[in-house]
Structure 1
Amino acid sequence: MPLKKKMVVVSATTAEKPKKRYPGEAKGFVEEMRFVAMKLHTRDQAKEGEKESEGPPVAKWEPSIDGYLRFLVDSKLVYDTLERIVEKGAFPEYAEFRNTGLERSGSLAKDLEWFKEQGHAIPEPSSPGISYAHYLEELSEKDPQAFICHFYNIYFAHTAGGRMIGKKVAEKILNNMGLEFYKWDGDLSQLLQSVREKLNRVAESWTREEKNHCLEETEKSFKFSGDILRLILL
């Protein structure tokens, strides 16, 4: 009889063991994604950054029109692909991310048309953009958690660091002219908050393993996007 009591106590103690909390978890899954993404920035990009910079900071970039056009063309291919994927909806949760107001494909089309009118030749998409678009297509058909990681990082990074880069490039080679790529209809902070809520809602149905799998995809997202960003300096 005493032995039985002892077993009950041990069992209760085990049951009371606190479950692991992930950084940002208390605020919702988007905060977890943001935490992981910020750590992958370089120290000169963000105070939470842990990576060493591999090149000069944005302020010291010497962009060219040709390189910038390559970047815009490859970016458009990626946004075209993302918007087509959510429209097609291989998984039901993709429908949440249609017509969010963050879409960039139409804006990029206008910008490329403007460059064409200025007499610039618009290049074909290059290897970084083609590789990323192909990867997103494949991923979206079989791995919704990983795909949504890319969706989040592409759109949200563009509204933050992407806008800063666009401003610096405009200062250097566009006489401070702002492109449509960096303009949104409506209040951007409200658009972002709406998408945050949708992302959190979708992730509520995921297991912890699925959430971790999504977070683990962040590094790949940074690598693909970084390859496209470096086209500016060609």
Structure 2
Amino acid sequence: MRSMSMKLHSKEQAKEGEKEVKEPEEQSVRKWEPRVEGFLKFLVDSKLVYETLEGIIDHDHTAFACYAELRNTGLERHESLAKDLKWFEEQGYAIPVPSLPGLTYCEYLKEISEKDTQAFICHFYNIYFAHSAGGRIIGKKVAQKILNNKVLEFYKWDAGELSQLLQNVRDKLNKVAEKWNREEKNHCLEETEKSFKLLGNILRLIIS
């Protein structure tokens, strides 16, 4: 899944990227002009997506027992986002309601989680791994520009060394995928572009 996702990055985002820059969020983050209001929209929609994703994983899915393999990974983010939004509120900012990009993604996650486990696993991977890689860089650059270098809880992992947490999840995903045939594995990979599109819609809120 990593090689597929790298192809969907632009050269400005990653040295392995192959995609031509078309959207503002595909440019190097150094060129962004974020505002707190847009960043808050991004955080609110991100919290909704993580709440939805983590709620699906924690639910007892009789038909998709593989989801249980992905519980309590240490990568969970919705509680950290709740703390960050509380901090913004304490600073006097009005917290917006979730917007269309987040609501749309959550509905899609719910839909595929019930009928398309390969597609859902692809989104699980991209949501967490994109945030732990490029997402951290974006968070740092945005904090430098508008938050006086404050590091939000969203960009901290207290459950252990991040590299080890990610490797543990890779091992779990490989275990899940061992039971798939070639067609199912290909279907999982083919969902990557959809995942990038939906995540990109949320990321774009930062510079909205």
- Trace 1:57-206 onto structure 2 (pairs within 5 A): 57-90=28-61, 91-185=64-158, 186-206=160-180
CA deviations over 1:171-205 (Å, ceiling 9, x no partner): 00000000000000111011001000000000000
Distance in 2 (alpha carbons) for counterparts of 1:60 and 1:42: 14
Q: Which residue of 1 aligns with 2:17?
A: 49
C-alpha deviation, 1:94, in angstroms: 0.2
* Structure 1 stretches of at least 4 aligned residues deviating more than 6 Å after TM superposition: none
- Trace 1:21-60 onto structure 2 (pairs within 5 A): 33-54=1-22, 55=24, 56-60=27-31
1:207 aligns with 2:181: yes
CA deviations over 1:8-46 (Å, ceiling 9, x no partner): xxxxxxxxxxxxxxxxxxxxxxxxx00100000001111
**SS state of the match for residue 52, structure 1?**
coil
C-alpha deviation, 1:48, in angstroms: 1.6
Amino acid at match of 2:81: L
CA deviations over 1:127-155 (Å, ceiling 9, x no partner): 00000000000000000000000000000
CA deviations over 1:68-118 (Å, ceiling 9, x no partner): 000000000000000000001421000011110000000000000000000
Distance in 1 (alpha carbons) for counterparts of 2:156 and 2:17: 27
CA deviations over 1:189-229 (Å, ceiling 9, x no partner): 11001000000000000000000000000000000000000
Q: Which ranges of structure 1 fall in alignment gaps of 5 or more residues?
A: 1-32
Greater gyration radius:
1
> How does the TM-score come out when normalised to structure 2?
0.96
Amino acid at match of 1:137: K
Distance in 1 (alpha carbons) for counterparts of 2:173 and 2:118: 11
> How does the TM-score come out when normalised to structure 1?
0.85
Distance in 2 (alpha carbons) for counterparts of 1:161 and 1:73: 19
* Percent of pairs with identical residues: 72
Distance in 1 (alpha carbons) for counterparts of 2:28 and 2:176: 36
Distance in 2 (alpha carbons) for counterparts of 1:198 and 1:89: 18
Distance in 1 (alpha carbons) for counterparts of 2:38 and 2:13: 22
C-alpha deviation, 1:53, in angstroms: 1.2
Equivalent residue pairs, number: 202
Name which of structure 1's ranges 101-110 and 87-96 shifts more when overlaid on structure 2. Answer: 87-96
Q: Which ranges of structure 2 fall in alignment gaps of 5 or more residues?
A: none
C-alpha deviation, 1:60, in angstroms: 1.2
Distance in 2 (alpha carbons) for counterparts of 1:184 and 1:97: 17
Distance in 1 (alpha carbons) for counterparts of 2:192 and 2:77: 21
Amino acid at match of 1:132: Y
Distance in 2 (alpha carbons) for counterparts of 1:34 and 1:188: 17
Distance in 1 (alpha carbons) for counterparts of 2:155 and 2:96: 21
Distance in 1 (alpha carbons) for counterparts of 2:149 and 2:60: 39
C-alpha deviation, 1:57, in angstroms: 2.1
**For residues 49 and 89 of structure 1, do their structure 2 counterparts lie closer, same or farther at Cα, with a shift above 3 Å needed?**
farther
From 190, 198, 202, the counterpart of 1:228: 202
Name which of structure 1's ranges 148-157 and 50-59 shifts more when overlaid on structure 2. Answer: 50-59
User: What is the alpha-carbon root mean square deviation over aligned residues?
Assistant: 0.7
